Chains A and B, each alone.
Chain A
Amino acid sequence: MVITVITLLFSITVYPTLTAAKPPEKGEVLPFINLPVPKNPEERNYLGLSGSGLFKIPQIKARAVIVELFSMYCPFCQKDAPGVNELYRLIENNPDIRNKIKLIGIGAGNSPYEVEVFKKTYNVPFPLFPDKDFTIHKTCGEVRTPFYMVVKINENGTHQIVYTQLGEYPGAEPFLELVLKASGLK
């Protein structure tokens, strides 16, 4: 009987954590996302992480993190890649914000090899993470790609999603304006 109850509870409670019913929205906290600490020391340094193992996005040393859910197989992600690289450069070249805003990409359904092909093709300068089995993509409600999220990290360690956008990348400068406004950095 105990097993029956546990089984039923398991089937009811585990399912929503596997596949969310909808994409993350403004005002919410992030879904469950674990990422591996990059092996590349430059990427580790960029994110302000140390050691190895897994980390969560709010552990990144920043006031705001821009997360792009992309795929090497997605034409719009390919088309927008140079513009997103430009966003990275705008941030890095501005001493007022370079330590406050960080940028990462998560390759929905992409193996490490496929993420590497995307990174190499477009010379992506910021860290990209594979999500081969769509685990993260499922927690994000299987949203279409590219999907952008801006996560505000508060000083007490809490966080909120302050902006989301499906596709329609407006270019680096307008997007940076949106990020600055949404995260309260301007």
Chain B
Amino acid sequence: MINKRLNGITLIIGVLSVLALTPMAFGLSDAYKGNIYQVGTLKPIDSVLKVKVGDRAPDFTLPSVSGEKVSLNQFRGKRNVVLSFVPAAWTPVCSDQWPGYNIAKDIFNQYDAILLGITVDNIPTLFAWTNQMGQLWFPVLSDFWPHGAVAKRYGLLRSNGVSERALFVIDKKGIIRYIDVHDINKRPPLEDLVGALEKLKK
């Protein structure tokens, strides 16, 4: 009986050790060479959302890498808005997220949507980092000061001061229609976001 239980425990430990030893996978581009800081596997989500689908999206104004300030409400009545919060510049998964959106401009256009990329990094850091991605067609905004204020307002600021990896779809009336606070260690599949944009038409 004891032997059986022991075998059971060993089996569980064996399986867990395989899972624990399997490193986080990411198709990291050679574009960044050795300049990506390895963060390891993090707690998937480390904040509590303060908004929900159906709420009016809290407005904000943030400086962008290209110089001008961008406000959420400037798109009200004109464009659907996708907010892409990523945790930090120069980290593995984030560095391989926006370059994908960069070749998906046609898809965003198809749904009359603008994309706003947001991190809590400062402008010079975002400038250097996004330069490695090629010419981005969408604004990249800095939620650096007051530190992570927008991320905090949405309930996305993690305990170490970076934001979650999160996607929001906001319609032309300024209403939140989709929220994906994603496991920080993984990249959200593009088709999930496109599915949410598709639903705006209905």
Contacts and interface: CB of A to CB of B under 8 A. Distances in A.
A4 B25 contact: no
Contacts of B3: 1
B132 to A, nearest CB: 7
B27 A117 contact: no
Interface string B183-199: 00001011100100000
A109 interface: yes
B18 interface: yes
A71 B22 contact: no
A79 interface: yes
B96 interface: yes
A183 B77 CA distance: 59
Contacts of B189: 111, 113-114, 132
Interface in A92-120: 107-111, 113-114, 117-118
Contacts of B25: 19, 109, 133-134, 137-138, 142
B134 A75 contact: yes
A76 B17 contact: no
A4 B10 contact: yes
Contacts of A78: 99, 102-103, 134
Interface in B148-202: 187, 189-191, 194
A83 to B, nearest CB: 15
Nearest to A69: B27
Interface residues of A, number: 43
A73 interface: yes
Interface string B10-43: 1101110110011101111111000000000000
B97 interface: yes
Given A109-B27, A121-B103, A145-B29, A71 B96 contact: yes
Contacts of B13: 7
A155 to B, nearest CB: 34
Contacts of B107: 117
B30 A144 contact: yes
Contacts of A15: 18, 21-22
Interface string A53-91: 000000000000000010111111111000000000000
B10 A8 contact: yes
A19 B23 contact: yes
Contacts of A145: 27-30
A74 B7 CA distance: 45
Contacts of A138: 22, 25
A74 B96 contact: yes
Contacts of B17: 11
A14 B22 CA distance: 11
B104 interface: yes
A166 interface: yes
A24 interface: no
Given A1-B3, A1-B7, A76 B27 contact: no
Interface of B: 3, 6-7, 10-11, 13-15, 17-18, 21-23, 25-31, 96-97, 99-100, 102-104, 107, 132-134, 187, 189-191, 194
The 9 closest A-B pairs by CB, nearest first: A108-B27, A134-B25, A167-B30, A74-B29, A7-B14, A73-B100, A71-B27, A113-B191, A109-B27
